[in-house]
Amino acid sequence: MAYYFGASMATDAFVTAFRIPNLLRDLFAEGALSSAFVPVFKDKLVRNDTEAAFSLARTVLTLVLVFVGLVVLLGMVASPAIIFVSAHGFTEEPVKFGLTVDMTRLMFVYLLLVSLSAVIMGMLNSFGRFGIPALSPALFNTGVIVTVLALHSVLPIPIYAMAIGVLVGGVGQVVVQLPLLWRIGFRFRPQFSLLDEGVKRVLRLFTPMVIGLSAGRVNILVSTLLASLLVEGSISYLNYSFRLMHFPLGVFAVALGTVALPRASEDASTGDMHRMTRTFIQAINLNFLVIMPSAAFLAFWGTDIVRLIFQYGHFSALDTENTARALLHYTYGLVGLAAVRVVVPFYYSLGDSRLPTRISILSVVINIALYYPLVWGMKLGFAGLAAATSLAGLVNFALLVYYLPSKGLLFRRREVLLDAVRIGVAATLSVYISRLWPFSVGAHLPEVWGRAADIAVGMAVGGILFVFFCLLLRVRELKLLRDRFLARFRR
């Protein structure tokens, strides 16, 4: 997208159009629905009632087809009003506004596809199948990339290739999981069982989650609205920087949260709080161990990374500078945003979706309250929107950890804080020293290879120093990873 379209009116329009179905995805797919469905589905499997679990899945899939299908139709009809409210700054440019509306209508169908994919992923994860479901988002990205390469030069408005690619990728996300779903013995047929106790449990969990996630989506819509009023390209700068910030978030935090949910649900079903506590401590500290150095690296090497990945074709040096500014203010919130992905499944596994919802709403209020002082008071502009998101994410995480022991988990909050501080100090020192590395190995290489070589050396130096400082500060999870690696190597 950066190569073909840069940070322009077209990319602002696409990002805004995709944001609407993408935000609803968290409500109807990978957020509330998946988190409400998996604990109930897993509980039935733990009780060796596979047919009841499959019956629940058939009902949930039927409800998704009916109700999410209706939401998609309503969204397509209401797209002009949605864009008028969520990106009001576009109304001053009729071409930009019309383009955004058209792409919003087209991409609303993706919401239904990703909702089906999320339920299937939850089923497969509950059976201990993680590989293919984890690969399905890669099929989405591949679909977008291939479609852009194939259609960019033949469409009268090239940016439509991105929107069509979203639909192609959504189909790929579903289809790649179907063979494995067949192998675990599931067969779909339409089924309505709204009086089933399992369905009622899913709905009881789902409703407050939707309310909590809706608060967060409102926050993102407000952010989009404000960005539409700022300098052209602001939405694109925030999007490109968010993609970079989301890379470690999606690779590590989402993976840990995905694995932790069925494991924590199993511990909750058996009432083993000691094991559940161990699962939580390991998950949160492993999250710190990979996210904190990632955040530090994005902060100190941000401009170099943006230049290496994006600065080609229509993406200019000014676009690099502005994207790196936004990225810097996302990095310190990465720790909180990633940790929330790991902590919340433990609440859901214990049947409590109300407290995370209330905390989420509070963090949204804090986020919105910070917009004015950061964007206009401190004159950070679009980077202030990223800073507000980061600070609110840290508050969200802190409150979730503070209240979690009251749900029965047997850990001390100070222990989690000290582990985070040790890993944070190790990450910051190691990456800061790597930034001071005086030698440029890429000086005599072609430009792109030179950029990549310098970043790779910085990453290697930082990684070695991070391990050293973690050993020096006695970070337990590093020993855990080493022991598991050695055990697997011996096998």
Mean residue pLDDT of the chain comes to: 88
pLDDT score of 238: 92
Whether 143 shows a pLDDT value over 80: the answer reads yes
Min mean pLDDT across 55-64, 145-154, 400-409, 471-480 is at: 471-480
Number of helical (H) and strand (E) elements in the chain, helices listed first = 22, 0
Give per-residue pLDDT as tens, 178-189.
Answer: 999 999 889 898
Mean pLDDT calculated for residue range 262-282: 83
Least confident of 63-72, 217-226, 344-353, 445-454: 217-226
Is the predicted pLDDT of residue 177 greater than 70, yes or no?
Answer: yes
Coil/strand/helix, residue 107: helix
Give the pLDDT band (50/70/90) at residue 403.
very high
Is residue 473 over pLDDT 80? yes
Tokens of 454: 């310098």
In this predicted structure, the answer to whether residue 296 has a pLDDT above a threshold of 90 is yes
Query: Are 239 and 11 within 8 A, CB to CB?
Result: yes
Predicted confidence at residue 133, as pLDDT, reads 87
Cα 154 off chain centre by: 32
Structure tokens at 250: 């999606």
Which residue do the tokens 């994919």 mark? Answer: 117
CA atoms within 13 A on the CB side of 343: 29
- Tell me the C-alpha distance between 306 and 373, whole Å: 27
Q: Answer whether residue 293 shows pLDDT above 70.
A: yes
Q: Residue 408 — φ and ψ, nearest 5°?
A: 115, -5
Q: How confident is the model at residue 270 (pLDDT cuts 50, 70, 90)?
A: confident
CB of 310 closer than 8 Å to CB of 5: no
Which pLDDT value is given to residue 10? 93
User: Based on the number of CB atoms within 10 Å of its own CB, is 183 exposed (0-12), middle (13-18) or buried (19 or more)?
Assistant: exposed
Model pLDDT for residues 245-255, shown as the tens digit of each residue? 989 988 887 77
How far is the C-alpha of 237 from the C-alpha of 11, rounded, in Å? 10
> Which pTM value belongs to this model?
0.79
Residue with tokens 């239904």: 112
DSSP string, 268-286: HHHT-HHHHHHHHHHHHHH
